[in-house]
Amino acid sequence: MTRKNLFAIIGFSMFIIGFLALVLMMVGVKLSFLTWIDAPGRLFGFIARLLMIIVGIMIIYFSQTNWRQEEAI
């Protein structure tokens, strides 16, 4: 497994977990390993879940970009 693939898997995992946690939060259910996010407040938990989704998408994008080809252009 290359580094690119590893970062893509990490990005997809962050995106899926963040999205799932956000949808479940709207229903009123929490993932047990993410309960610490809501400790400071619900707004902080909501923003943290959104950041998980955004950072996951960014990791996927940056891991799949061919930087050598971008420099040649």
Q: What is the pTM of this model?
A: 0.84
**CA-CA distance, 17 to 56, in Å (whole number)?**
9
Specify the long-range contacts of residues 46-49, CB closer than 8 Å, at least 24 apart: 46/22, 49/18, 49/21, 49/22, 49/25
Q: Which tokens in the block code for residue 11?
A: 């990005």
- Measured from the Cβ of residue 55, the count of other Cβ atoms closer than 10 Å reads 15
- 30 confidence band (pLDDT: 50, 70, 90): confident
Please state, in angstroms and rounded to a whole number, the distance separating the CA atoms of residues 13 and 10: 5
Looking at 10-19, 30-39, 44-53, which range is the least confident one?
30-39
